Structures are given as structure tokens and as C-alpha cells.
Structure 1
Amino acid sequence: MNQEPNTLLSKNTDIQPPVMLVTGSAKRIGAAIIRAAHTQGYRVIIHCHRSEKEANSLADQLNKSRANSAVVIVADLAVVNHGAALEDFVKNIIEAFGQLDVLVHNASRFYPSPIGYINHEQWNELFLTNAKAPLFLSQALLPYLKRQQGCIVSLLDIHAHDRPFNNYTVYNMAKAAHRMMVQSLALELAPDIRVNGVAPGVNVLPETDSDQALEPTLQHSIVDSIPLQRIGKPEDIAHSVLYLIQASYVTGQIIDVDGGRGLTLAGGKY
């Protein structure tokens, strides 16, 4: 994809708009990526698991703006553990618009796993969403992405490389694996498919009523450590994702979008 969708469409109205799938995109950062891509002329596939109501609402808004431009696919990413289920998932994705140009790995689980309390359930869940599903879904969709000379963008974390988040060992390990997937696939899939990543810092806080919520004191200490002295916005991440999609000579790169927070991190410090 060497040009912005709007540029492509303005030159030849017979060219079908490109298609983007974003996992976990019913709300928050995923929804921001969907909205930004839709504004740029993409047809979008909104994937969700438990947030079907929010996903349908988002799709309705986008389809009112441009008819037949957004669809919702509901699936537990554990489908990657089952061959037949994964085949059905891929079939649904491709049947939505007949092609796939961009795959964005956004779905993620995030919660603490302090040593002494780590169990297999935490390990399986955090590695599924943050490492295993991105790899196996990339593999399953590879023929379709290659056909379009498309690209993959992964949402990572500034804590995935040399700066672990204290008490989040399993999450840190899973995101580190995902980061290495980005770099490995960038080599293996070149020159047909570009693979890049975006590493958020504090761009959106976990919902206060979820098991991912951060204590207020921790929230304040994190914000105090950000050089730009503010929490980022989901739109900041979406902007970087769209840049990487359109940057035809960039692959294997990870962009930190963290307000400079990575400059203040050291070891177990918040």
C-alpha cells in the first residue's frame, strides 16, 4: 500500500477501497483506529468478543456515514487453538469484503500477576491475547494479505523491551514475545508484507470497574513520570498506526507513543 486510500480512490473510482481488520476494536484504542481508518476511506472489520453492543453501535455510525463500509465479527480469539474454528473465522473475515489489506493486532488482556500468585489460567489468557493469537491469526491470513501486498501492525507496550512493569511479569513476557514476532515476521514476510508495531505508554487508563484497573496512587505516580505531563489519547495511537500503514519503506519498526515516559523508566520503577 503505497498511497493513502483517498488518493487511490480519487484517481480511479473502479478501485475498491482497502480493507482493515482490527482485533478488539469495539471501543477505546481499537475503536479509535477503526474511526481514523474509516475517515481515510477504508472499509473496516470491527472484531470483538464480549463488547458486541459497542461494536454494533460503532458499525452503525460508520455505515450511516458511508453505506456498507463497516462490519462486525464476534469471536473469542481462542479460535486459534482449534483448526476448524480458525478456518471459519478467517472465512468470515474474507467474506466481509472479499479482501484484506491491513491486519491490526489490538486485542489484549492486561492485569497484574505478582510472583507467588501466578497460575496457569493467567499464563494461558495473557499469552493467548498478547502473543499466540497475533501469530496464528497472522499466519492464517497471510495468503490474503500477500495477495494485496498488505501489512500488519501490532499494538505492543513500552514495557515489552527492557523496562518491565512491576508485578506484571506474565503480561510483560507475553508482550515481549509479541514484539519479537513483529521483528521476526518483518524479516520473513518481506518484501511482500510489511510488519510494524506501535508501543503505547499511558494512552488510555484501564476501566475503573475492571480487573485491569490501576489504583489511584499508581495512576498519579505514572502521570507524574510522563515528561509531557498528561495521559495520551487513543487518537495518538491511531495516528501512528495509519502512518505505518502508509509508510511503504518502513518495516520491522516499533514506534513508542508515550509522551516521553520511556525516558523516565528504569527497572521496576513506575
Structure 2
Amino acid sequence: MTMKLTVKPDNSPVMLVTGSAKRIGAAIIGAAHEQGYRVIIHCHNSQQQAQELADDLNNIRSASAAVVTADLALVNDDSSLHQFVQTIIATFGQLDVLVHNASRFYPTPVGRIGYDQWDELILTNAKAPLLLSQALLPYLQVQHGCIISLLDIHAHDKPFNGYTVYNMAKAAHRMMVQSLALEMAPHVRVNGVAPGVNILPDTNSDQALDSELQQNVTNSIPLQRIGTPEDIAQCVLYLVQASYITGEIIAIDGGRGLTLAGNGH
């Protein structure tokens, strides 16, 4: 675990977004920074992208962005978790918002589910968010801060076919949001954002969709367009500022959840 940049604190609020070097996480970081937040960009393997993002933001506003590199499996070790928390707090001296964005997503067809897939998907989508929330709670309480979790419209009553372990992990994360909203009140609010199709898989990945399938997906969305990372970021920032909302999960899916059967893409 390494910290790339140490800066002096000021009076602006601080947001940590896990898995925020690119895609949705980077969009949240950018939107928060634009609203005056100091931001902590967490990454594991995307160190170059994270540092480039931090450099861009620091060029806009000096000493406003930092990078922390860590494998979230550190939550399995008390000493490593404590060190991570101390690194986060030392970066800007406080924490106002924790956003759980880091996630692994891939199919686990029945008959081929193994311990490694179980451990990885549960870790990133349920275990790490819970244990990080617990470890950072004292600092969030001081700031009367909040936690925002990135979930999935498939985590509630509409399982994604062939993704049983992922579905289970996100469902657990959804219940975490609702449970912690009760337990952490009144000083810390906890909410969730459930994306639909807000970003397509990389074209060079094994999850890539061909043009026909992309069009079918678009046709299945009432608003007739694929969402964007910025759509998610806007909702996250809304929930951060909505001081009388806790325990809520907002679907950002263009209405797709209204027609979704849960089978296939």
C-alpha cells in the first residue's frame, strides 16, 4: 500500500472513492472535485490512470487530489486495515464522504463456481465495503458525513442470469446499506445508487457486446439510451447533499428496471 501525494488540509470536505482511477469511479471523483471537494482516488492495479487523474485535478486546484494504492483484501488483516485507515486520514486530516465503488463483475455459471470466485466477488462487493465502513466510521461521525454504495439493479428481485455469486454479493451489499443506515444514524447517513446499463464493457474484454446486442440493450431501456458514468456521479453528489435522506437506494437505469426480467443482458 502506497500513498502518492501528501497535502495540507484546508476547510473543504474530503471524499474517498474506492476503485476510482477510471470509468464510474473517476466520474464521481471529477464531479466531486468540481464542486469543491478534496478527493482521494483509491486504486489497486490502475496506478497510472489514478495518478494521471490526480495530476489533472491538482493542475486545476493545487493540493486537492491524492492517490492511495491498496488491495482491498487488506480488510482480512486488522493491522493492514488500521494502516490503510491511518493513511486515508493522514492524507487530508479528515473524511466526510466514503463512496464504495470498487467491484469485480464476471459470470459464475452453476457447476463451475469455485472458492476463488466466491472469495473475490464477496470480498469486493460486500465484505470490504462493510469492514471499511466500520473502520472509517469514527472519522465520518466527527464530520457528520455519509456513505454512498454503488449497487446494481440486479441486486433486488431481478437476478442477472449466470452471475449467481455476483448477485448474492450485491444483494448483501444492498442490505448493508439499509442496516448501516439504521445503526449509524443520526450522525452518518448511508445510501445507495443502483446503476442499470450505465457503461458498456470494454470492447477488448471478454464481456464486450457486439453492435446488435448493444442495440437490443438500448431498445430495452425506456429512455432509449445507454446511461453514462456522469449520470451516476450526479446522483452520488445529490445524495451527499441530501441531508434528510438515509437508507435509500436510487436506481439510475433509464427506467430499465420497470421492464427487466433479469434474464440475459
Quickly name the TM-score band, shorter chain normalised.
over 0.9
Contact 2:104/2:124, CA 8 A, preserved across alignment = yes
Is 2:117 the counterpart of 1:159? no
Q: How many Å separate the matches in 1 of 2:232 and 2:167?
A: 20
Q: CA deviation at 1:243?
A: 0.2
Write the letter of the residue equivalent to 1:58: L
Matched, 1:177 2:168: no
- Is 1:189 equivalent to 2:189 in the alignment? no
Query: Within 1, Cα distance between the matches of 2:56 and 2:47?
Result: 14
1:15 positional shift = 6.8
Q: 1:110 touches 1:212 (CA, 8 Å); kept in 2?
A: no
Q: CA deviation at 1:241?
A: 0.1
Q: What is the rounded CA distance, in whole Å, between the counterparts of 1:22 and 1:211 in structure 2?
A: 26
Question: 1:198·1:240 contact (CA, 8 Å) conserved in 2?
Answer: yes
Distance 2:144 2:20 in 1: 23
Unaligned residue ranges in structure 1 (runs of 5+): 1-13
Per-residue deviation, 1:215: 5.5
Contact kept, 8 Å, 1:111 with 1:211, in 2: the verdict is no
- Quote how far apart the aligned CAs of 1:206 are: 1.8
Residue 58 of structure 2 aligns to which amino acid in structure 1?
N
Corresponding residue to 2:193 among 195, 198, 206? 198
Counterpart mapping for 1:60-139 below 5 A: 60-139=55-134
Determine the structure 2 residue equivalent to 1:36: 31
How big is the shift at 1:230?
A: 1.0
Question: How far 1:219 moved relative to its partner?
Answer: 3.5
CA distance in 1, matches of 2:10, 2:82: 28
Say if 1:130 and 1:216 are closer, same or farther in 2 by CA, change over 3 A: farther
Partner residue, 2:13: 18
Which of 247, 254, 257 does residue 252 from structure 1 map onto? 247
- The percentage of aligned residue pairs carrying the same residue is 72
Q: What CA distance in whole angstroms lies between the structure 2 residues aligned with 1:261 and 1:68? A: 40
| Aligned equivalent of 1:45, options 40, 46, 60 | 40
Instruction: Give the counterpart of 1:233 among 181, 204, 228.
Output: 228
Contact 1:106–1:155 (CA<8 Å) still a contact in 2?
yes
Gaps of 5+ in 2: 1-8
What SS is found at the alignment partner of 2:73?
A: helix
Matched, 1:223 2:243: no
TM-score (norm 2): 0.94
CA deviations on 1:152-198 (whole Å, 9 max, x unpaired) are: 00000000000111111111110000000000000000001000000
1:242 aligned onto 2:227 = no
Change in CA separation of 1:50 and 1:131 when aligned onto 2, cut-off 3 Å: same
Opposite residue 175 of structure 1, the aligned amino acid is K
Residue number in structure 2 paired with 1:140: 135
| TM-score where L is the length of structure 1 | 0.92
When residues 219 and 127 of structure 1 are mapped into structure 2, their CA distance, relative to the original with a 3 A threshold, is farther
Shift of residue 220, structure 1, vs aligned partner:
3.5
Displacement of 1:269 after TM fit?
Answer: 5.3
Distance 1:27 1:15, change over 3 A: closer
Number of matched pairs: 257
Alignment-mate amino acid for residue 165 of structure 2:
V
Separation of aligned partners in 1, 2:74 and 2:31: 28
